[in-house]
Structure 1
């Protein structure tokens, strides 16, 4: 109980502060490379739901270009994701700016990944438990299949994490995260293709259940 209420946040602040200082040269180099290869802005900002569904702004390094068609519409993600962008995702370097989200208290090092705001109406009551803790840079779902788990299993892992939250659990997830990052076999280059859109999937399921 002490770890959940106080210890976890203290470690998040302490470790993210150290990580920001130690990794600042890498952050700078990646930022320069993103600016050269993908353009400006260097950072990708998007609103995500955090603890108690409070909305915060997630920061990541951008991994896609702004290429558009003749009508001025953005091209599909697959056509805007460059080899450099794929490398950033495969090595998780695109996630480094989230250290500042952790430092501020929007996120935790370990926890359920922050998903899209548009997904909020589609969680079951059980799955909503994922928002009773701060979202994480990495989580139990990410080390249990990364982007290849279907949504039901992925969200079930988030709930499992919340129910079993402890220092031992966080250390276990952190260790497995290091292993996954160095073994790229579980990394999906196109996450939308791997997991699909939760809102669309559950909307279609709801329609099928009505018709049954």
Structure 2
């Protein structure tokens, strides 16, 4: 990222809610959630161990908020409950490795509970609401404007997730992410929370077959599909 763009990130017109209230409330709600549902973490961990073996957790590096000292996204580990069988000697596709139990975890979004404990509460790499952290391999293919989605911490849910989730095209996703980053408000975040709860309960816009519903972003950009 150029020095000018990084300077823009430093001097965005941050408000009281975004700079102080949102991170404090986010951490507090994460603490309350873990204290209330610690038993659910243990239950799912035991089930994953019995049905899928070890390790219980799946980790993957993802890009986080841009550090203006380096002009690069901070790379952090995303934590989830594992939903797939381990790769053995016989190479299986993701679809073959995804079990019925794993599909249920994904359809209920319970596989994402470790993000609340590790990424929001303990390591503070993420927020409850913000652009979802995508794959590190996508970084070279963002435009400068699209990288603005990394001007804030990534979220457990976000505007693009409640607006179509995996069924949106990449341009639509990034446009919604940048729209969210440009104006973060308490009312807006509350709306996203309630829409997220509704989608989780209704199991809408969720794919569980181990495949993307749209082409991989890097493949689209390599082919010149901007």
Q: TM-score, normalised by structure 2?
A: 0.87
Corresponding residue for residue 59 of structure 1: 79
* Aligned pair partner of 1:94 in 91, 111, 136: 111
Matched, 1:131 2:145: no
CA distance in structure 2 between the aligned counterparts of 1:161 and 1:197, rounded to whole angstroms: 23
Corresponding residue for residue 45 of structure 2: 31
* Aligned pair partner of 2:29 in 15, 37, 40: 15
Q: Report the CA distance between 1:192 and its aligned residue.
A: 3.3
Corresponding residue for residue 146 of structure 1: 165
Greater share of helix residues, 1 or 2?
A: 1
Corresponding residue for residue 184 of structure 1: 203
Structure 2: gaps of 5 or more residues: 1-14, 67-72
Q: Report the CA distance between 1:193 and its aligned residue.
A: 2.7
Q: Report the CA distance between 1:67 and its aligned residue.
A: 4.2
Pairwise CA RMSD: 1.3
Q: Say which is worse superposed, 120-129 or 191-200, in terms of deviation.
A: 191-200
Residues 6-37 of structure 1 show CA distances to partners (whole Å, capped at 9, x for unaligned) of: 11110111000111111111111000000000
Residue 133 of structure 2 contacts residue 154 of structure 2 at CA under 8 Å; is this kept in 1? yes
Corresponding residue for residue 219 of structure 2: 200
Matched, 1:114 2:128: no
